[in-house]
Chain A
Amino acid sequence: MADFQRWAPDAQRHLRQGPGLWVKLRLDPFLLVLLFAIMSFGLLVLYSGSGSSEAAVQKQLVRYGIALLGMVVITQINLRNVQRWIPLLYIAGLLLLVAVLLFGVGAKGAQRWLEIPGLPRFQPSEIMKLVVPLTISWYLASRPRPPHLIHVLVAVVLVSLPVLLIAKQPDLGTALLIASSGAFVIFFAGLLWRYLIAAIALGAAGLPLLWMGMREYQKQRVITFLDPESDPLGAGWNIIQSKIAIGSGGIDGKGWLQGTQSHLDFLPETHTDFIVAVLAEEFGLIGVCVLLALYLLVLIRGLMIAGSASHPFDRMLAASLTLTFFVYVVVNIGMVSGLLPVVGVPLPLVSYGGTAAVTLMASLGLLMSIHARRPQRT
């Protein structure tokens, strides 16, 4: 078998001592330990970023509890037994997204939430973060691989529908995450390199045309989006302040609860999307590198699980979920450090908020479920 599997630490050795709790619960201790490490570090930063609010930390702890419970439940599901429900889930998800555009509620000009009497209010776009990779994996798993052009095109349409609906809310961050999760599945289904290169070339050729077709004010908005620092009172304020926070942190940071940028209210959204700036200010380069290392381990573990899965469906799903997790990290840190435009993407398992935590843990649950049902080596 492939090199990748040989790479995996031999979990079987523990099993020889009889099936332990991990095996019964089908959990992956390796991922679980990483998860707890990231969350604990995150809560530490959150306490500082929320202005030493114990309430915020407690609330987040409860959310993590719920999310963990959800993860354990999902891990018990054998994906291949529920595969046939996936198209239904997809259609239901699309309908919910349409409902959001029609009756959704929200704030600051975006309409993202749905309020159904009797249910807590939720974001259907979050559900789609799981449903889209599931759908595309399901669709391509039963097609020949590498996929024919026609199947690729169908998959692209299946991804685009929810992405466009979410971009219209507008929620660019989520749209981006979902689009990339779908793209990763197609890539891992064995998309021919020539299609990939053709798509990139087409995109590169189309951009200047699009630009020329735009009106002046639209161009201006794109410029501010790409270069927020040209608008220092508006969109640029956050970026300028977060760069100051990160830069002034230096190598070893100002110390926990000692960040002046965040504690003097210069830095906005210190506990949500911009939390990594607090971390960088208070724990310095070392702190961020520790976090990045933890993330890297999660990613490697995810790729290993993908490599050890036998069924194409499992393989594609696991790889896509792992790389989507990667996109979260890169887009968030990239935007806070001024490398990428600002789109609302939280820092996984660190940013304050319940919905993102639930979806992320659910996707880790899917990974564990895939891992638990890998072919046993003899």
Chain B
Amino acid sequence: MPWSKMDTQRQEVSQFTARLWWSLLLIIIIFAGLVSRLVYLQVWEHERYVTESDDNRQQLQAIAPTRGLIYDTNGTLLAGNRASHSLTLVPEQLAGGRRGIDDVLAQLAQVVTIDQNDIKRFKRRLNQPRRPFSPVALRFQLNATEIAQITVNQHRFSGVRIVPELVRFYPLDQGFVHALGYVGRINDRDLAKLDSINYSATHHVGKLGIERFYETELHGTVGHQTVETNARGRVLQVLDRLEPVPGKDITLFLDAQLQQAAAKLLEGKRGAIVAIDPKTGGVLAMASAPSYGANQFVTGISNANYQALRNSDDLPLFNRALRGRYPPASTVKPVIAIAGMDSGIISRKYSIWDPGFYQLTEGGRLYRDWKEGGHGRVDMHKSIVESVDTYYYAISHLMGNDPMTKYLAQFGLGQVTIADQPEATKAVLPTKEWKRIHRSASWFPGDSLNLGIGQGFLSATPTQLATMAMVLANKGEWRQIRMIKSMDALPVEKVSDIGRKDPNQPNNVELTRTSDWNIIHSAMIDVMHGKKGTGRRSGAKSSYKMAGKTGTAQVLGIKQDSTYDAAKIAERFRDHGLYIGWAPAKDPVIAIAVIIENGGGGSSAAAPLARKLFDMRILGVNSKDKAGVKNDG
């Protein structure tokens, strides 16, 4: 071995050994550091920690943030908070500790009403993971008498407390629940999903609708305080306090007056109305009937009331505006006409002779028009104004599935485009592939004919139809359909502005010839104002022009009722009345969809309702211009 190499080796070893010594020094210094830390905690600060450890009276309490408020577009309060008192127990502080719970419950039951359900729920809450000395709720919504009775007997119960809290309150209640949703008590399933720290003082969570979608923003951030309490749990002194961050206030596009009017128009009916501002995409009204009161869900609905709501044949809990899947019937004809023209399959001058029926093959099945004897020579304008089925049989036979479903999708059918209503459903836009998967059959020409008049497999929700009306009114321009207008006074153009995921939205509908829009618009105006327009009675005598399209959907089958009620069943076989439209025709401020289940024809059942809301939106509430809207049933 050469000397130099041995030399480097020796050098290396000595360097290594030096580093070992350095490490040992470091180890000893750091161990000394740890020991001094322990001496500091265990000797220097020992007294303090002994007090803290012995002193169970000093405790950390979580403080619930105040839930954000919800306003309508004009600043009317739609969801606020009000004080409510609940009865809580701190198990560690009860006489006899946790083992004494049953005795305490029995004694408390002599003072206030506590039923088996309360006790069952209390025990469930008690067995959830919780921090020692945190209160567990036994009863909510104590009334003044109960509060007084407990206060008088307070000396008998250690660890029993009345805790005031703010709970949700919906001042306008009924008629808004399908638009706003509601909050309810946090249950086991919610607990699994929620951040247990941030919700440590919260008892309610958004269950449906806006309340559910904007839960994070509305809820806020929990605060906490260290308090000194006496043996009975009464707070003697607040030692330090971090204020909770209240939830954000949300302003909706919803117009409370329009919403109330819509709900009133639907009274006694089953159906839905959705109105959208075409300039912004904001939802002005979203009503579904029958409805129910939201406040009862906040305070805890009784089982009997809940069962009554659940079992009602009219399905009041069902949000028809977002989840009702109806055949859109003739309301899709403007889009089918656009599909025909823009795909180049028919010319804009295309016309047919309508004998009152259509046949795929000579001597085959008759596809009938609604008018016996037919409409004679029909061009595109007349086909929309008079809603001529035969014309659409003919052009959808020429088109087949593809161009029709492609254009219907561009107008929002078959997808959820509303950004902040988590319950919305996409209904069914029957492409060839859809039929292959769901019906295990290929697409037949007859299917195209049904699709062309908005029947068959096609279904849409009222929200989707209002969206379609908006895109038609805007000549193809899309806006994000949403409830929210602003959050804490900051405008929200898209929900992604506040960090939410935007829904997939079709691109603006660009027609090869933009003048094609005028053909459709002029026809839809004549639906309302033309001599033979199907909606002329609703369009008459108005100071402004409106555009629309009526629809009448055949009801093919209904769920068999368990009890036989001839009148009811006959009623449930009546047609659904539909209407889409917007106003004013040239510079729209409202686009609408109205659906009345088993209401009969769209021109008589649905269009008059839309007219009333048009008037209200355009002329104001106190308008006298109500002539021309005779409710002809």
Contacts and interface: CB of A to CB of B under 8 A. Distances in A.
Contacts of A260: 53-54
A145 interface: yes
A1 B14 CA distance: 8
B53 A261 contact: yes
B38 A190 contact: no
A307 B14 CA distance: 10
A266 B42 contact: no
A191 to B, nearest CB: 9
A234 B42 CA distance: 25
B31 A233 contact: no
A2, A261, A292, A295 — which one has the most chain B CB atoms within 10 A of its CB?
Answer: A2
Contact of B19 (A187, A233, A261): A187
Given A233-B197, A233-B200, A319-B23, A248 B37 contact: no
A247 B50 CA distance: 7
B153 to A, nearest CB: 29
A247 B41 CA distance: 5
B34 A233 contact: no
A234 B197 contact: yes
A343 interface: no
Contacts, number: 121
Contacts of A292: 31, 34-35
Contact of B17 (A285, A300, A307, A334): A307
Contacts of A237: 131
A26 interface: no
Contacts of B16: 2, 188, 190, 307, 315, 319
Nearest to B13: A2
A323 B27 CA distance: 9
A288 B36 CA distance: 12
B21 interface: yes
Contacts of B13: 1-2
Nearest to B17: A2
A330 B28 CA distance: 11
Interface string B23-56: 1100110110011011101110110111011100
Contacts of B21: 3-4
A333 B34 contact: yes
Contacts of A244: 49, 52-53
A306 B18 CA distance: 12
A296 B43 contact: no
A198 interface: no
A244 B58 CA distance: 13
B130 to A, nearest CB: 10
A299 B19 CA distance: 14
A251 interface: yes
B222 interface: yes
B12 interface: yes
A320 B521 CA distance: 80
Contacts of B20: 4, 303, 306-307, 319
A250 B132 contact: no
B224 A233 contact: yes
Given A3-B17, A187-B19, A326-B27, A285 B43 contact: yes
B12, B23, B46, B222 — which one has the most chain A CB atoms within 10 A of its CB?
Answer: B23
B107 interface: no
Contacts of A312: 12
Contact of A247 (B19, B27, B45): B45
Nearest to B51: A248
Interface string A137-175: 000000001100000000000000000000000000000
Contacts of B60: 232-233
Chain A, interface residues (CB within 8 Å), range: 35 or more
A264 B56 CA distance: 10
A243 B131 CA distance: 17
B15 interface: yes
B274 interface: no
Contacts of A339: 34, 37
Given A284-B42, A285-B39, A330-B30, A188 B14 contact: no
Given A233-B200, A333-B34, A4 B17 contact: yes
A304 B16 CA distance: 12
Interface string A233-247: 110010000011111
B468 interface: no
Given A190-B16, A264-B132, A303-B24, A337 B197 contact: no
Interface string B146-164: 0000000000000000000
B49 A323 contact: no
A183 interface: no
Interface of A: 1-4, 145-146, 187-188, 190, 232-234, 237, 243-251, 260-261, 264-266, 280, 284-285, 288-289, 292, 295-296, 299-300, 303, 306-307, 312, 315, 319, 322-323, 326, 330, 333-334, 337, 339
Interface of B: 12-17, 19-21, 23-24, 27-28, 30-31, 34-35, 37-39, 41-43, 45-46, 48-50, 52-54, 60, 62, 131-132, 197, 200, 222, 224, 226
- Nearest 8 Cβ contacts at the A-B interface: A247-B49, A2-B17, A248-B53, A247-B41, A248-B49, A234-B197, A285-B42, A248-B50
6 contacts: A4-B21, A190-B19, A243-B49, A248-B54, A261-B53, A285-B42
Given A233-B62, A248-B49, A303-B24, 16 more contacts: A4-B20, A4-B21, A146-B15, A190-B15, A233-B197, A233-B200, A233-B222, A233-B224, A243-B49, A247-B42, A247-B46, A250-B46, A292-B34, A292-B35, A337-B37, A337-B38
